[in-house]
Amino acid sequence: MNKPIRRVAIVTMIMFALLLANGSYAAMFRTQELNASALNRRARDAEFAQDRGAIVAGDENKTVLAETTEIKDRFKYLRTYPDGELYAALTGYYSYDHARTGLENSYNTELAGTDDSLFVRRLIDMITNRTPQGASIETTVLPEVQQAAAQALDGQKGAVVALDPKTGAVLGLVTSPTFDPNEIASHDISKSDKAYQELNADKQKPLTNRAAREIYPPGSTFKLVTAAAALEAGLKPDSKVASPDKLRLPGTQTDLGNDSNCGGTQITISQALNVSCNTAFANLGLQLGQEKLQAQAQKFGFNQRHLSDLGAAASQFPDELNASQLALSSIGQFDVAASPLQMAMVTAAIANDGVLMDPYLVNTVRGPDLQPISTHKPAQVGTAMSPENARLLKQMMVGVVTDGTGGRAAIDGFTVGGKTGTAQSDPKRKPFAWFTSFAEVDGKQVAVAVMIEDADIERNDISGGRLAAPIAKAVMKAALE
C-alpha cells in the first residue's frame, strides 16, 4: 500500500472511531437531554401519546383542574382543562409547539409517567403490555377560595393570593386577565399556534402570572416590614415618631407628603399604621437605617425565590441606599418591588407568631394506582420576628381595620387585620391598589394579598382600602366559613 492510500485509510479509521464514540456517548449520556429537546419531534410525539396524569384541587371531591381525554387522532390523548380560565395561572398549559408552563412544566415527568420514581411501574407496564399512565398531582388549592377570588377581582387587571399561615399552603392564586389553556393545548397545530400568538400579542398580557412571577412597587403595604423592623429594634406600638405634613427628603429639594391626615406632628407607630402616614414611616426608616430595614425585609423572604412550582420571581429590597432613597424605600417606593405572593407571605408570617412558612402548591404526587409517591411536608423559611412582636403587630393591623384605612375588610365574627397601599411606578400610568390582610376564626387562619394594576383611582393610600380590601374580604370569608 503506497503512502497516500495509507494516510487516507488512517484518516478514515479515525473518523469512524470518532463517529462511533460520539454515537456511544449520545446513547449513554445524552438520551435525556435529546429527548427533552424542543427540536426532537419524535420524543414529543411519543410524549403526546402518553396517558398523562390529572391535576386536581385540594378539596374533598378532588376537583379536576387538568385531565387527559382519549380521542381518535395521531396523538390518542388530548389534554383538557374543565375550568381552564379559573386555574390557568396554576396548571399552565401543555402544548405541542409551545412547550409547557405552570404545574404542567414543573411536574412534567411525573405527569407524563417518565419520572424515575415511576420506573417500577413503567417496567410492569412494559412486561404486561399495559398502556403507561402518568402520576396525578394533588394541589393545595380550594375551589371555593379560587372562585371567590376570581369573582371578586371581576376582570380587573391584578392578582390575588391566599395562604394558610400555619403551613404555607396556597389556598388560592388568581391572576387577571387570564386565558383558556384548552386553546393552546389543541391538537390542531395551526389553531393552537394562532391562539398562542394572539394571547402573546395581547397588550393586557393574559399569559402573565401577576400573582407570583411579576413584581410591583408594594406601596404602603411595605410599611408592615418597616413596623416589624421598628418593633424588633426595641420600639413599641406607642413609641412616638415625627409626622410632619411634609418631609424634605435628605439631600434633595423634594418634599414627601401624606395622602391622609396623620393626626399631629408627633404620633405613635400604631397610629401611623392606622392612617398610613408616609412622613412618619419615612422618618422611622431613617431612624432604623438601611441595615436593619434590609435585614427585616429578607427575613420576610425578600431577595429570595419561593414557590418554585410556578417559577416565582424574587421580590426585591435594594442595596446601597442614600438617605432619600432609604426614606422612600421605607414606604414601599423607590426600587422596592414585591409580588402579591410575597406580601401574602409577610402577612402570613405576622399572623403565624412571626414564623414564615415556605409557600407550596402541590401536596401529594400519586401513582396510577393512587398510592402516594411523594407528600409535601410544611417547612419553615425562618423566623421573621419574635412571637411577642408579631402579636403586637397583629393588633396594630387589627387597628387598621377597626379604626383606620382598612375598614372595608371587616367581617362580623372574625378577627381581621390588614394594611392598605397605593403605589405608583410611573407618573404617566395609573397607580397600583394593594391590600394585604389576615383573618382568624375558631382557630383557623388565612392570609390574603390583593393587587390591582392600573387602578382607576386618584393617587391616595385610601384607594387600597376602597378597591382591594373588599376583594380580600370575600376571599377570607370563602376560606374560613
Phi and psi at residue 266, in whole multiples of 5°? -135, 115
Q: How far apart are CA 350 and CA 417, in angstroms?
A: 10
Instruction: Write phi, then psi, for 121 (nearest 5 degrees).
Output: -60, -45
Taking each helix axis as running N to C, give the angle between helix 223-232 and helix 340-351, from 0 to 180 degrees, rounded to the nearest 10. Answer: 40
Instruction: State the angle between helix axes of 278-288 and 290-299 in degrees (0 to 180), rounded to the nearest 10.
Output: 100
Cis amide prior to 470 (ω within 30 degrees): no
d(CA 152, CA 166): 25
Q: Is 276 a catalytic residue?
A: no
Cell of 28: 449513554
The answer to whether residues 102 and 92 touch, using CB atoms and an 8 Å cutoff, is yes
Cell numbers representing residue 378 in the block:
410544611
What is the DSSP secondary structure assignment for residue 297, as one 8-state letter?
A: H
Strands (E), 30-165: 55-56, 64-70, 77-80, 136-139, 158-163
Alpha-carbon Rg for the chain in angstroms: 27
CA dist 186 and 78 (Å) reads: 7
Q: Which of 287, 340, 282 is nearest to 310 (CA)?
A: 340
The residue from 95, 192, 220, 330 that is catalytic is: 220
Closest-CA residue to 36 (of 112, 119, 102): 112
DSSP assignment of 40-75 equals: -HHHHHHHHTSBPPPEE-SSTT--EEEEEEE-SSTT
Nearest to 386 by CA among 418, 358, 349: 349
Cβ partners under 8 Å of residue 310, min gap 6: 89, 90, 102, 103, 106, 173, 209, 212, 213, 361
Amino acid code (one letter) for 179: F
Neighbouring-strand partners of residue 56: 64, 138
Q: How far, in Å, CA of 9 to CA of 402, rounded?
A: 90
CA-to-CA separations, 311 to 212, 417, 451, in angstroms, rounded: 8, 29, 19
- Known catalytic residues are 220
